[in-house]
Amino acid sequence: MQVSQNTLFDKVWDLHKVSSLPGGSDQLFIGLHLIHEVTSPQAFGALKDKNLKVKFPNRTVATVDHIVPTDNQSRPFKDNLAEQMIETLERNCIEQKIKFFNIGSGNQGIVHVVAPELGLTQPGMTIACGDSHTSTHGAFGAIAFGIGTSQVRDVLASQTIAMNKLKVRQIWCEEKLSNGVYAKDLVLHIINRLGVKAGVGFAYEFAGPAISALSMEERMTICNMSIEGGARCGYVNPDETTFRYIKERLCAPKNKNWDKAVKWWQSLKSDENSIYDDVIKLDASKVEPTVTWGITPGQSIGINQQIPHLEDLPLNDQFIAEEAYEYMGFKPGQSIKDTPIDVCFIGSCTNGRMSDLRVAANVLRHQKVSKKVKAFVVPGSEKVANEAKQEGIDKIFKDAGFQWREPGCSMCLAMNSDKLIGNQVSASSSNRNFKGRQGSPKGRTLLMSPAMVAAAAINGKVSDVREFINK
């Protein structure tokens, strides 16, 4: 039974509700629909089969990210299937009059990096995309969630979907993160504490002093990984930090409309007397640099902790822990620190933004990547890449021995040629450490913050980044 009242989630949901459907779910209007090459072609195909057109073409925006090569982006792509996918998206966007930010436009990149950069993502919107990390946009106080291809079809055809309203859990984070501890560490800590399926049926509201102190890019990292905690949607109430970020961006409201927008956005935040279905409190100052040791994003520990023994885990987590020991080749009680690393990857919709690259570059300045490690950085968007070049950050990475690549999703999910080989171990700033996720069926992924990836690259093993930045 739903009890939440007067939260941002309730307000935005109710505002977008079109009707109650006969089955009991709600018909929800989608204010902004984002599409990419992997989950949209079948939806356009289905639309054609049903003889339907896109209802509001200017409420859908497209870019290309999952399949793009990051070494050589000249067309046609070397990979025929990837070329076929980008061509299909290009054709669908032309036929249906949808704005497409293609490679070379200056605005191409990972869909969840691009939309906020353009000012498309704003408080109070409902945002859907055929991608589970759509929760990222909740950082702005939007209700944003991933959908499947059939729902992409429904949004294209009707700008609405059928969905059951979610419950709301507030995750209140006291104090603030300590030096060398980042948003990524906090969200990994939250997922570890609540579990990977605790969020099913919930929207997560991230709040409290530790969240208010975060930049927009850090809030995006937190909301991005709501889905790893099982929550389809996560959000932060909008505040001055939010408005400052949006102001002057290409698609931000301008002039008189700006003032109207800010006034409306301010009215959306959860009321002081709002009611939640559940509230969790934690102390952010206690969070350490956090690393995953297993095969779910919930299997993580602080850098100075040991891989847990079976008997120290809740009964429900023991089965998957045994699977993880075997797959990862780790023994219970072993330290995660000093685990040898083969590949270092900085990028993804979780941690491929300007602030992520800056933090990693600060660790890498005047340092060299271990000779045993292959390290590469994939900026989240063309804009991030250009800004990094202007700041000379690309040079710091290259001087340290990182390969500097073109923007895309890359080895987060390895749909292009960036893949682990055999049972290589990667230190990765991405979001999923599932079996085989990074392109090799035996590949092993340790998730961590971009700063921690940089530290691992230098030492060739899992390291505490605080030893670099506190020198």
Contact set for another protein, span 148-187 (CB under 8 A): 148-151, 153-154, 157-164
Give the three-state DSSP class for 421. coil
Q: Is 434 in the site for another protein (CB under 8 A)?
A: yes
Judged by CB under 8 A, the residue of 7, 63, 121, 122 near another protein is: 122
Q: Is 15 in the site for another protein (CB under 8 A)?
A: yes
Judged by CB under 8 A, the residue of 5, 6, 29, 358 near another protein is: 29
Give 47 or 222: the residue with its C-beta nearer to another protein.
Answer: 47
Site size toward another protein (CB under 8 A) is 87
Q: Is 96 in the site for another protein (CB under 8 A)?
A: no
Judged by CB under 8 A, the residue of 239, 278, 288, 323 near another protein is: 323
167-174 and 403-404 as β-strands: parallel, antiparallel, unpaired?
unpaired
Q: Is 73 in the site for another protein (CB under 8 A)?
A: no
Taking the C-alpha atoms of residue 124 and residue 262, their distance in angstroms, rounded to an integer, is 11
Taking the C-alpha atoms of residue 227 and residue 203, their distance in angstroms, rounded to an integer, is 10
Evaluate the omega torsion of the peptide bond into residue 76 and state whether it is cis, within 30 degrees of 0.
Answer: yes
DSSP annotation string for 347-379: -HHHH-SHHHHHHHHHHHTT----TT-EEEE--
Give 31 or 401: the residue with its C-beta nearer to another protein.
Answer: 31
Contacts (Cβ under 8 Å, ≥6 apart) of 408? 65, 66, 67, 68, 69, 70, 109, 110, 378, 416
Q: Is 418 in the site for another protein (CB under 8 A)?
A: no
Judged by CB under 8 A, the residue of 5, 88, 215, 306 near another protein is: 88
Judged by CB under 8 A, the residue of 1, 22, 74, 470 near another protein is: 22
Given a contact cutoff of 8 angstroms between Cβ atoms, the answer to whether 402 and 414 are in contact is: no
Measured at the CA of 70, the angle between CA 65 and CA 75, to 5 degrees, comes to 80
Smallest distance from another protein to CB 224, Å: 13
Taking the C-alpha atoms of residue 412 and residue 408, their distance in angstroms, rounded to an integer, is 9
- Pick out residues in 267-296 that bind another protein (CB under 8 A): 296
Q: Is 316 in the site for another protein (CB under 8 A)?
A: yes
Taking the C-alpha atoms of residue 226 and residue 211, their distance in angstroms, rounded to an integer, is 14
Residue 325-344 contact track with another protein, rule CB under 8 A, x = bound: --------------------
Question: Which value, to the nearest 10 degrees, does the dihedral of the CA atoms of residues 303, 305, 307, 311 take?
Answer: -150
Give 123 or 180: the residue with its C-beta nearer to another protein.
Answer: 123
167-174 and 233-235 as β-strands: parallel, antiparallel, unpaired?
unpaired
Smallest distance from another protein to CB 251, Å: 5
Smallest distance from another protein to CB 57, Å: 9
- Pick out residues in 368-407 that bind another protein (CB under 8 A): none
Smallest distance from another protein to CB 419, Å: 9
Q: Is 2 in the site for another protein (CB under 8 A)?
A: no
Taking the C-alpha atoms of residue 55 and residue 168, their distance in angstroms, rounded to an integer, is 31
- Pick out residues in 34-53 that bind another protein (CB under 8 A): 38-39, 41-42, 45, 50, 52
Closest-CA residue to 180 (of 461, 365, 455, 459): 455
Query: Applying CB under 8 A, which part among 316-324, 331-339, 350-358, 360-368 lies near another protein?
Result: 316-324
